[in-house]
Amino acid sequence: MALSKKYNLFNRDFICLFAINFIATFAFYMTTITSNDYAVKILNADTAMAGLASGIFVIGALFARLYFGSKIDNINIKLLIYVGIILYLIDTLFYFIVKDIYVLIVIRFVAGLCYGICSSACGALIARIIPKNKRGVGIGYYALSVIFSSAIGPFLAVLLSSKNAFNLSFLITAISIFLALIFNIILKVRKLKISHQKQKAKGLFAYIEKSSLGISSVVFVLGICYGAILIFMSAYTQALDTINNNYIFKFSQAGAVFFICYAIVSVFSRPIAGKLFDKYGANFVILPSLVCFVFCLLLLANAFHPSLILLSAIFCALGYGVATSSAQSLAIKLAPVNKVGLASTTFFIALDLGIGLSPYCLGKLEPILGYANLFNICAVLVVFSVFLYYLFVMKKNNP
Q: Residues 378-392: pLDDT tens digits?
A: 999 999 999 999 999
Its pTM stands at 0.77
Give the integer Cα–Cα distance in Å for 103 and 4. 52
HSE (CB half, 13 Å, CA atoms) of 328?
31
Give the integer Cα–Cα distance in Å for 262 and 255. 11
Fold: same for 10-190 and 208-399? yes
What is the CATH architecture assignment of 10-190? Up-down Bundle (1.20)
Backbone angles phi, psi at 75, to 5 degrees: -130, 170
Contact predicate 5/131, CB 8 Å: no
Q: Which residues of 8-28 are buried (b: 16+ CB within 10 A; e: fewer)?
A: eeeeebbebbbbbbbbbbbbb
Each domain of the chain, given as residue ranges in start order, spans: 10-190, 208-399
Give the integer Cα–Cα distance in Å for 279 and 289. 16
pLDDT per residue over 188-220, tens digit each?
876 555 444 444 555 566 667 888 889 999 999
Q: Provide, rounded to the nearest whole percent, the portion of the chain with pLDDT above 90.
A: 35
Within 10 Å of residue 167's Cβ, how many Cβ atoms? 13
Please give the pLDDT value at position 332: 84
Which DSSP state fits 302?
T
The third-level CATH classification (topology) of the domain covering 208-399 is Growth Hormone; Chain: A; (1.20.1250)
3-state helix, strand, coil in the chain (%, to 5): 85, 0, 15
Please give the pLDDT value at position 197: 43
pLDDT band at residue 73 using 50, 70 and 90 as cut-offs: low
pLDDT at 241 over 80: yes
Question: Which residues neighbour 87 within 8 Å (Cβ) at sequence distance 6 or greater?
Answer: 110, 113, 114, 117
pLDDT per residue over 314-344, tens digit each?
999 999 989 998 998 898 888 887 777 778 7
pLDDT at 244 over 80: no
The string of DSSP codes covering 244-277 is ----SS-HHHHHHHHHHHHHHHHHHHHHHHHHHH
